[in-house]
Chain A
């Protein structure tokens, strides 16, 4: 690590993470949920449009899609039916959850530090690693901690919920091109 960066590890991370308008990639998720003996594994693709939202397309074990925009979380099921999971316009309290998802996926340190206490940890090689603890009591009722690690991109996320559930995410095959949304992608994010 550079000496200057050691003084402010956050600035170092922020400097490292690519701030791109559009990011595509693949994910593998493992959830440990109370009541289940085995972790729930799923995988698929994701699309992050910095100003619009995230499209989370699960392909295995069965196809489904979740779209997270500034105002709501929407899911599309196998039969094509859509369901609004959360409407932040009706419950502004959930905006913070949305905003957090955004910030996590895109490594937006500025947004994250306003809602979380950030502790950077030394990491091997060129990468970085950090632990986030919610500042607000409201968010703490949902999450106890979030651990992130990565290099130019966020590579791994570990989310610990207050009820004991743990979600582990691994991102791969990140690509910054094409740099514009296709028409189909844009409609999903409407």
Chain B
């Protein structure tokens, strides 16, 4: 087969190669040590948000988003809905007992029950009591300012002489108008604390027991096992036995994280092991020998291990999607090993050093173009993509180094050709070549016929949902829990900034006043604002003056009516401040809304719920207009906008990449460079057209896949031009393409829409490049370019 021109004594290693190989072995020893430590406690990230870009240049929004996400990262909420309150209480008891029992029988508890302390209300009331005169709802403020003192005195008298009636929460003379219970009622309603004496929530015809748990991080392993969901399912079925007809709803970030881990572990298994098995099968078919099999597997193992180690060292942890994506690396990284063995067939062991020297330029160029393509993935400021890019480049490079530094030492035996390799290599000779005008015309017509209508059908879609892969049932439950509990959306909120706490609170109050108007006419749901609990100092002083005036007037009238001398209770002399509030248990329901120091000033968020109306987002956005220091943040829309922006940017980069690659190729292949690049370009256009035919929307991840296609597809052209007419080069390209094709094809099975889009694009693209590349190969006797001659 290949009989390269040899310039060096046959069995002599390249200069310095021994030392380089030794250095590489040392590096691998360090990596092995790191791997051993890493898998003891793998730092694996599952949060989809971690993949998304942090708002560049806006630390406040990034900070707010991180706080909001981090705040609920370990919470699990379970709702048990029954027709009768007794059934809900029974179900709650059984459910809690099940969780506790399972904690007792295992070494470590997964969930810790997270009830707000029973005496929370007493603590909060005690904290606020000295400031009772400074706290009024908006309705109370208006009523006190407008209602004549006589009418107020009358109501107070009725309440005094009436039946036991309303609980007062404090001494009568400290609240003669009964304002305090109403204020608490308003707080309870706005913070989702509206539970009855049994702790049940009544909604939609059912009595719901709301259970809150906190995840014990130390006991929670994202190892692909369904521990958390199994525990909750077990508890749910026990509760359902105790209360038939029970509705069980579960929500919480850990559920999504675990579900993602389970799915990822399944996908890493199918995609990773599937493509490994496919690659090894192909290697076996091609070489019928154990040595290539083991050495190619070694290069892949080294590639993945080094990639993992470097990624973890750089990013601190690795994202699950990176692992899944990395699994497809197997299909690309094996090219170098296969190339080695394809060329080794029929070459004597003593000649292997010169063979290496002969292969190196093509291998380097292939690595360079693939690495450039992967690096381009990292240009977008998506942390997730950067991780994948780094993982892939490092993995490819490590596999490459293992091949060039290790294989010549390790592959000392005989390497015969096999029937399969001869047959596959031989197909190249029978493959048509575009030599006539007619052949070119037929191809052009076929391409145009597929491409033009397909491209017209193509639609773009940059929805954030492309990144999410939680099961629909889990998302539906999450949504229902959010609706029942009036839980605010984590992705949309108002960011309020000011130079100090007082300014932030005053600005919040202006925003909240607007929100109340749109809430009152039913346009949108409620909000959660810290200033509803802790008004600004200015507001507190105004209210204190108002209540003092009105209550004294009322007491004077009541004194006259009853013949008693009635004195008003004592209150704190100054407003309650933010620090005291945050330090007290009273702030528990709203503490997470306060961001504190952000940049030069202070900041808080106001969260909103019920975004069910289609125009709710626009209504909220409009409320921030014209208010100093108030901004409406819609992360979903921002991210979709970013995805669109980077789809456009990457498309232009892709075109620029084509130009750069062409220039690099032209340096080496001169007038033949078009032969290398045209198959990849055609394959790219046809792939996009096929997506259009299939009704698949074009998104950023398709464009990124095209980038990879450019990097990998070029390799086939390079090998075919570099080793012209060489059956062993064709064998390597075919086996390499087949395994790459299988790897990405399996990626097309991923439940994550982004990865699926990626896989599908490469499935089409790689297949097409493989089919098209030989059509453009030069004639074996074409000597119009320098380079290596063949037989």
Is residue A177 within 8 Å, beta carbon to beta carbon, of the partner chain?
Answer: no
Instruction: Report the bound CA distance from A12 to B131 in whole Å.
Output: 49
Is residue A83 within 8 Å, beta carbon to beta carbon, of the partner chain?
Answer: yes
Instruction: Report the bound CA distance from A40 to B185 in whole Å.
Output: 28
Known A-B contacts A66-B165, A93-B188, A141-B121; the reply to A34 vs B172 at CB < 8 A is: yes
Is residue B41 within 8 Å, beta carbon to beta carbon, of the partner chain?
Answer: no
Q: Which residues of A contact B564 (CB under 8 A)?
A: 35-38
Are the CB atoms of A75 and B195 closer together than 8 Å?
no
Are the CB atoms of A90 and B164 closer together than 8 Å?
no
Residues 6-49 of A, flagged 1 when their CB comes within 8 A of B and 0 if not, give 00000000000000000000000101011111101010000000
Is residue A180 within 8 Å, beta carbon to beta carbon, of the partner chain?
Answer: no
Are the CB atoms of A64 and B162 closer together than 8 Å?
yes
Are the CB atoms of A73 and B172 closer together than 8 Å?
no
Which residue of the partner chain, among B122, B154, B170, B196, contacts A163 with CB atoms under 8 Å?
B170
Is residue B194 within 8 Å, beta carbon to beta carbon, of the partner chain?
Answer: yes
| Size class of the A contact interface (CB-based, 8 Å) | 35 or more
Is residue B168 within 8 Å, beta carbon to beta carbon, of the partner chain?
Answer: yes
Is residue B520 within 8 Å, beta carbon to beta carbon, of the partner chain?
Answer: no
Residues 134-155 of B, flagged 1 when their CB comes within 8 A of A and 0 if not, give 0000000000000000000011
Please tell me which stretch of A95-103, A125-133, A147-155 contacts chain B, meaning at least 4 of its Cβ atoms lie within 8 angstroms of it. Answer: A95-103
Are the CB atoms of B173 and A34 closer together than 8 Å?
yes
Q: Which residues of A contact B168 (CB under 8 A)?
A: 161, 163
Is residue A121 within 8 Å, beta carbon to beta carbon, of the partner chain?
Answer: no
| Smallest beta-carbon distance A101→chain B, Å | 7
Q: Which residues of A contact B154 (CB under 8 A)?
A: 77-79
Instruction: Report the bound CA distance from A100 to B362 in whole Å.
Output: 88
Q: Which residues of A contact B155 (CB under 8 A)?
A: 75, 77, 83
Are the CB atoms of B172 and A61 closer together than 8 Å?
no
Residues 188-221 of B, flagged 1 when their CB comes within 8 A of A and 0 if not, give 1100001111101110000000000000000000
| Smallest beta-carbon distance A177→chain B, Å | 24
Are the CB atoms of A56 and B121 closer together than 8 Å?
no
Is residue B562 within 8 Å, beta carbon to beta carbon, of the partner chain?
Answer: yes
Are the CB atoms of A93 and B196 closer together than 8 Å?
yes
Are the CB atoms of B161 and A40 closer together than 8 Å?
yes
Is residue B160 within 8 Å, beta carbon to beta carbon, of the partner chain?
Answer: yes
Is residue A58 within 8 Å, beta carbon to beta carbon, of the partner chain?
Answer: yes
Is residue B58 within 8 Å, beta carbon to beta carbon, of the partner chain?
Answer: no
Known A-B contacts A83-B155, A85-B165, A142-B167; the reply to A35 vs B566 at CB < 8 A is: yes
Is residue B228 within 8 Å, beta carbon to beta carbon, of the partner chain?
Answer: no
| Smallest beta-carbon distance A95→chain B, Å | 6
Q: Which residues of A contact B162 (CB under 8 A)?
A: 42, 56, 58, 64, 66, 75
Q: Which residues of B contact A86 (CB under 8 A)?
A: 166, 181
Q: Which residues of B contact A64 (CB under 8 A)?
A: 158, 161-162
Are the CB atoms of B161 and A92 closer together than 8 Å?
no
Is residue B230 within 8 Å, beta carbon to beta carbon, of the partner chain?
Answer: no
Instruction: Report the bound CA distance from A27 to B200 in whole Å.
Output: 35
Tell me which of A93, A141, A161 has the highest count of chain B C-beta atoms within 10 A of its own C-beta. A93
Residue on B with the closest CB to A93?
B196
List the count of A-B residue pairs having beta carbons below 8 Å apart. Answer: 113
Is residue B118 within 8 Å, beta carbon to beta carbon, of the partner chain?
Answer: yes
Which residue of the partner chain, among A33, A38, A42, A79, contacts B172 with CB atoms under 8 Å?
A33
Are the CB atoms of B167 and A97 closer together than 8 Å?
yes
Is residue B472 within 8 Å, beta carbon to beta carbon, of the partner chain?
Answer: no
Q: Which residues of A contact B301 (CB under 8 A)?
A: none
Q: Which of B114-141 touch A at CB < 8 Å?
A: 118-119, 121-122
Is residue A138 within 8 Å, beta carbon to beta carbon, of the partner chain?
Answer: yes
Are the CB atoms of B171 and A91 closer together than 8 Å?
no
Q: Which residues of A contact B201 (CB under 8 A)?
A: 92
Instruction: Report the bound CA distance from A190 to B181 in whole Å.
Output: 25
Is residue B567 within 8 Å, beta carbon to beta carbon, of the partner chain?
Answer: yes
| Smallest beta-carbon distance B126→chain A, Å | 11
Instruction: Report the bound CA distance from A115 to B197 in whole Å.
Output: 9
Residue on B with the closest CB to A96?
B197
Instruction: Report the bound CA distance from A34 to B567 in whole Å.
Output: 11
Is residue A139 within 8 Å, beta carbon to beta carbon, of the partner chain?
Answer: yes
Are the CB atoms of A96 and B159 closer together than 8 Å?
no
Are the CB atoms of A90 and B197 closer together than 8 Å?
no
Are the CB atoms of B164 and A73 closer together than 8 Å?
no
Q: Which residues of B contact A58 (CB under 8 A)?
A: 161-162
Is residue A136 within 8 Å, beta carbon to beta carbon, of the partner chain?
Answer: yes
Q: Which residues of B contact A34 (CB under 8 A)?
A: 171-173
Residue on A with the closest CB to B163?
A56
Is residue B52 within 8 Å, beta carbon to beta carbon, of the partner chain?
Answer: no
Instruction: Report the bound CA distance from A96 to B196 in whole Å.
Output: 7
Which residue of the partner chain, among B157, B164, B195, contacts A159 with CB atoms under 8 Å?
B164
Residues 156-176 of A, flagged 1 when their CB comes within 8 A of B and 0 if not, give 000101011101010000000
Q: Which residues of B contact A42 (CB under 8 A)?
A: 161-162
Are the CB atoms of B160 and A33 closer together than 8 Å?
yes
Residues 99-138 of A, flagged 1 when their CB comes within 8 A of B and 0 if not, give 0010000000000000100000000000000000000111
Residue on A with the closest CB to B207?
A92
Which residue of the partner chain, among A73, A115, A137, A163, contacts B171 with CB atoms under 8 Å?
A163
| Smallest beta-carbon distance A48→chain B, Å | 12
Q: Which residues of A contact B167 (CB under 8 A)?
A: 97, 141-142, 161
Are the CB atoms of B562 and A95 closer together than 8 Å?
no
Q: Which residues of A contact B164 (CB under 8 A)?
A: 101, 159, 161, 167
Are the CB atoms of A40 and B171 closer together than 8 Å?
no
Known A-B contacts A34-B171, A40-B562; the reply to A75 vs B158 at CB < 8 A is: yes
| Smallest beta-carbon distance A42→chain B, Å | 4
Are the CB atoms of A93 and B197 closer together than 8 Å?
yes
Known A-B contacts A61-B161, A64-B158, A77-B158; the reply to A139 vs B197 at CB < 8 A is: yes
Are the CB atoms of A92 and B194 closer together than 8 Å?
yes
A-B residue pairs, 8 tightest by C-beta: A96-B197, A35-B173, A142-B167, A92-B196, A42-B161, A64-B158, A91-B185, A138-B197
Residues of chain A touching chain B, judged by Cβ–Cβ distance below 8 Å, are: 29, 31, 33-38, 40, 42, 56, 58, 61-62, 64, 66, 68, 73, 75, 77-79, 83, 85-86, 90-93, 95-97, 101, 115, 136-139, 141-142, 159, 161, 163-165, 167, 169
Given A61-B161, A92-B200, 11 further pairs, Cβ under 8 A = A34-B173, A35-B171, A35-B564, A36-B566, A56-B162, A79-B154, A85-B159, A93-B194, A101-B163, A136-B198, A161-B164
